[in-house]
A and B are shown apart, each in its own frame.
Chain A
């Protein structure tokens, strides 16, 4: 399914970030794709199930959460999972393109969200996806 990617802050992201970015709580609150219930139904995924989000710049598996977004879009809380998908193109401003990117979303039956360790490995290994 083709969607637009939105990223940003949530209360849970802020609270868990202050507890520690290596905490299980941060992983649970930030490695999340918020989808409109109708879009999730079309994809055949429910609350807590795995979806893969892919952009031109990277790809990660996230836990699906229903609500909190419009149809045709996916919201991923700001953090390393969202930024595995975003564009570093700043168009001369210094500001990367962190909102409104075209993304593809698909169900990953039985899949697990990409872990922080996998992201760290992908950065160290200079690979394009996690």
Chain B
């Protein structure tokens, strides 16, 4: 039995780095400090593994790589998508492959915090690290997110209960949850504010007005006195932060909701220190934005068909490309669009030659022409991942694996494509 300490969890954007993992005979047998989803990921790492396939027939990995390269070489307008559940060297290789093949390149942020990126490009964002939140924040606002189910250890490691340098646990913090329904998160906070579905922009705008001293009445189902009280609390705190999620990015308004939230935070900084942070989902979706931005200047939804990167969400984002039936081949890396895209996009994906690189059987792999199994980043191979606050952490290899890391598979495809 080998005990590994200080293991970084490769599930969500919290990248909890205090896990302990026990390994026996090459298999993970127990975890400590892991949330239920993380525990499931570590303990199930050997289950439901993908096999190398071409056209539904099991083949060698080399044969699958050869066919993947052929598909990309022959495609006129390929799409490379995903990237967020792998490490940053693989993301770098995906950019290289996209450049070589003149592909469109998108990562899962286009269907999570792409609208956040768009809004931040418009008006900027006041940011900090999770460590600063833990040490200093006395007002935490969760808006349109449910960390109790999606970022399970966020409240105990960073936001609600941890003992920080200047804040000792929950008693020295006031926590608000704004959402369309009461969830497990609502039970952990001091105040729950119920906003009507699809009307967050209205409530954010009313809050901005209240912060500026205007009289506000009911907005989005929230009484005027509640809005005024929240505005006063925000202005009066020493260090406040809004953590927000898909409740803002996926609902009516999308990037405009985020724009309103970012501008509210900017207004609040005339009174106190206030910050904002997206709750990033996939463990390295932040890394996907970082790597693409270093290498191309753009964080997602770009295209290389002119020989240089062109950025245009709505045109080169994966859902749009698929729904317009423009791409004639796809390579899906470390994500499962068949499980998480609207059916209209999945139908086109099912109709074109698709290559899937994934450790596990995914729904996209069920539709794909080529499946290439890979090692699980952070369990079976090392690498770098970016936490939701942009802090890079080193993922560890916990067990040996017969599978190649994503970066090596991509390198081999690049060699065959002609890189």
A37 CB, nearest partner CB in chain B, Å: 14
Task: Give chain A residues whose Cβ lies under 8 Å from the Cβ of B340.
Answer: 78-79, 83
B344 CB, nearest partner CB in chain A, Å: 4
Let me know if A116 and B342 touch, CB within 8 A: no
Q: How far is the CA of A128 from the CA of B11 in the complex (A)?
A: 33
Q: How far is the CA of A4 from the CA of B197 in the complex (A)?
A: 8
Q: How far is the CA of A115 from the CA of B332 in the complex (A)?
A: 24
B170 CB, nearest partner CB in chain A, Å: 21
| 1/0 contact string of A78-107 vs chain B (CB within 8 Å) | 111001101110111111111110000000
Task: Give chain B residues whose Cβ lies under 8 Å from the Cβ of A9.
Answer: 146, 149-150, 281
B181 CB, nearest partner CB in chain A, Å: 5
Task: Give chain A residues whose Cβ lies under 8 Å from the Cβ of B48.
Answer: 19-20, 22-23
Q: Name which of B245-253, B285-293, B384-392 contacts chain A.
A: B245-253
| 1/0 contact string of B125-165 vs chain A (CB within 8 Å) | 00000000000000000000010011010000000000000
Let me know if B339 and A79 touch, CB within 8 A: yes
Let me know if B343 and A57 touch, CB within 8 A: yes
Q: How far is the CA of A7 from the CA of B150 in the complex (A)?
A: 13
B25 contacts the other chain (CB 8 A): no
Q: How far is the CA of A99 from the CA of B36 in the complex (A)?
A: 25
Let me know if B40 and A14 touch, CB within 8 A: yes
Q: Which of B12-37 contact A (CB under 8 A)?
A: 36-37
Name the one of A6, A16, A87 contacting B197, with C-beta atoms under 8 angstroms: A6
Task: Give chain A residues whose Cβ lies under 8 Å from the Cβ of B6.
Answer: none
B394 CB, nearest partner CB in chain A, Å: 22
Task: Give chain A residues whose Cβ lies under 8 Å from the Cβ of B211.
Answer: none
Let me know if B44 and A96 touch, CB within 8 A: no
Let me know if B342 and A86 touch, CB within 8 A: yes
Let me know if B343 and A84 touch, CB within 8 A: yes
Q: Which of B203-255 contact A (CB under 8 A)?
A: 246-247, 249-252, 254-255
B406 contacts the other chain (CB 8 A): no
Let me know if A96 and B319 touch, CB within 8 A: yes
A33 CB, nearest partner CB in chain B, Å: 14
- Total number of A residues with any Cβ neighbor in B under 8 Å: 50
B114 contacts the other chain (CB 8 A): yes
Task: Give chain A residues whose Cβ lies under 8 Å from the Cβ of B344.
Answer: 57, 88
Let me know if A122 and B343 touch, CB within 8 A: yes
Contacts A21-B336, A57-B344; is A93 near B361 (CB within 8 Å)? Answer: no
A70 contacts the other chain (CB 8 A): yes
Let me know if B254 and A15 touch, CB within 8 A: no
Contacts A9-B149, A83-B339; is A98 near B351 (CB within 8 Å)? Answer: no
A23 CB, nearest partner CB in chain B, Å: 7
Task: Give chain A residues whose Cβ lies under 8 Å from the Cβ of B247.
Answer: 8, 99
A58 contacts the other chain (CB 8 A): yes
Q: How far is the CA of A7 from the CA of B362 in the complex (A)?
A: 20
Task: Give chain A residues whose Cβ lies under 8 Å from the Cβ of B341.
Answer: 83, 88, 96
Name the one of B11, B146, B338 contacting A123, with C-beta atoms under 8 angstroms: B338
Let me know if B36 and A14 touch, CB within 8 A: yes
Let me know if B37 and A90 touch, CB within 8 A: no
Let me know if A97 and B250 touch, CB within 8 A: yes
Task: Give chain A residues whose Cβ lies under 8 Å from the Cβ of B250.
Answer: 7, 95-99
A73 contacts the other chain (CB 8 A): yes
A120 contacts the other chain (CB 8 A): yes
A18 contacts the other chain (CB 8 A): yes
Task: Give chain A residues whose Cβ lies under 8 Å from the Cβ of B313.
Answer: 90, 92-94
| 1/0 contact string of B335-373 vs chain A (CB within 8 Å) | 010111111111101110000000011110011000000
A contact set with B: CB distance below 8 Å: 4, 6-11, 14-16, 18-23, 57-58, 68-70, 73, 75, 78-80, 83-84, 86-88, 90-100, 116, 119-120, 122-124, 126, 128
A to B CB contacts below 8 Å, 16 in the list: A10-B149, A15-B36, A21-B360, A22-B48, A73-B197, A83-B343, A88-B345, A90-B320, A94-B110, A94-B300, A94-B318, A99-B198, A99-B246, A99-B247, A100-B252, A122-B343
B contact set with A: CB distance below 8 Å: 11, 36-37, 40-41, 44, 47-48, 106, 110-111, 114-115, 118, 146, 149-150, 152, 180-181, 183, 194, 197-198, 246-247, 249-252, 254-255, 281, 300-301, 313-314, 317-320, 322-323, 336, 338-347, 349-351, 360-363, 366-367
